[in-house]
Amino acid sequence: MESLNLFISLFLFSFSYFFLGAESDHLQHSNSKSLRPNRLFVFGDSYADTGNIRKSLSDSWKIPYGITFPQKPSGRFSDGRVATDFLARYLGIKSPIPYTWKDYAGKERLLYGMNYAYGGTGVFKTKDNPLPNMTTQIDYFERILTAGNIYSPSHIPSSLALVSVAGNDYATFMALKRPLTELPAFMQQVVGQIEVNARRIHKLGVKKIAITSMQPLGCLPSITVFASYQRCNATDNIATNLHNYLLHKAVARLNSETKPSTFVVIDHYNAFLTVFKNKGPEPGVTRFGKPLEPCCVGIDSNHDCSNVDEKGEKKYTICEDPKGAFFWDVFHPTEEGWRSVYSVLHKSLKDVWI
């Protein structure tokens, strides 16, 4: 990890000095304004997944996940609602049904859209994960459109696509122990594939596509645990900023191809930091006393939130009040964390889509 930190620091110092400018808005967007979308299609990972993974394959279906909403595990990687739910709430629609549950939903429910996101996935295949990456998720979407028995061609242009990428590709890069010198080129590949995916979704007829920036990876509890949850890892956040810079450039290219411009970046990075730094009353944003400390953790490094032993005894601890924690586990926000993030983002979303 020290060699990675040194490499990224040296490589990105000059890059960030000459090229990276802080985004003052929480949303990079086109100058065009239009009506609010009336359905939502979702692609991505655990920040967006609302229950696609089979119950036997994921901790998100185990207690204590879902204790806040819906008071039982629902396949969400949180104690309650996640990013998808809050974006849908902003649009004034119900959260889109998970793809794997489509056959159990009524036709009226399906008209709000569909969620193809699977926790643990990335734009490429991720380590030891057989679940569909984003390319395959878009394949599923295309098949649904081709079948024509749920959505007609008139439904799609008034829809919004959410593309969520939260870092699983980079976690796989590190797990495979690839040479650190390959990291900058790999970042280009990841963002390049996101660009390909977004362009493909647009060609399938979706006219509004929102792509989340990477959250500050150096602030995840899996990283801040080494600093007793007291501070973020600045070097990891510099690397995250490189990904986000490349993403903004990709979105600019996409918008140059479309009239009117319809691709946006939802700035999770700065929204997360805004919530972390909130020290006083800010409408809609909870003040978290220890924002980097997770609510649910394993009792030691060999266990995670939701783990039990062969006798069913808990091998995790949970905080007294999940609403007082920004992070649920070592990777994912609580419902209250997500609510605060989307409260920060609310104004910038309103500026674009109303």
Could you give the 3-state DSSP secondary structure of residue 41?
Answer: strand
| Residues 53-92 pLDDT 10s | 999 999 999 999 999 999 999 999 999 999 999 999 999 9
pLDDT band at 179; cut points 50, 70, 90: very high
Question: Which band of pLDDT confidence, cut at 50, 70 and 90, is reported for residue 28?
Answer: low
φ and ψ at 40, to 5 degrees?
-130, 125
Q: Is 332 a catalytic residue?
A: yes
- Residue 104 scores a pLDDT above 70: yes
Residues listed for the chain = 354
329 is catalytic: yes
Whether 300 is catalytic is no
Q: Which of 60, 332, 340, 343 is catalytic?
A: 332
Considering the candidates 29, 45, 46, 79, report the single residue annotated as catalytic.
46
Q: Catalytic pick from 329, 340, 343, 348?
A: 329
Task: Give the pTM.
Answer: 0.91
pLDDT tier at 353, thresholds 50, 70, 90: low
Give the residue from 343, 345, 299, 337 showing the smallest Cα distance to 321.
337
Residue 35, pLDDT > 80, answer no
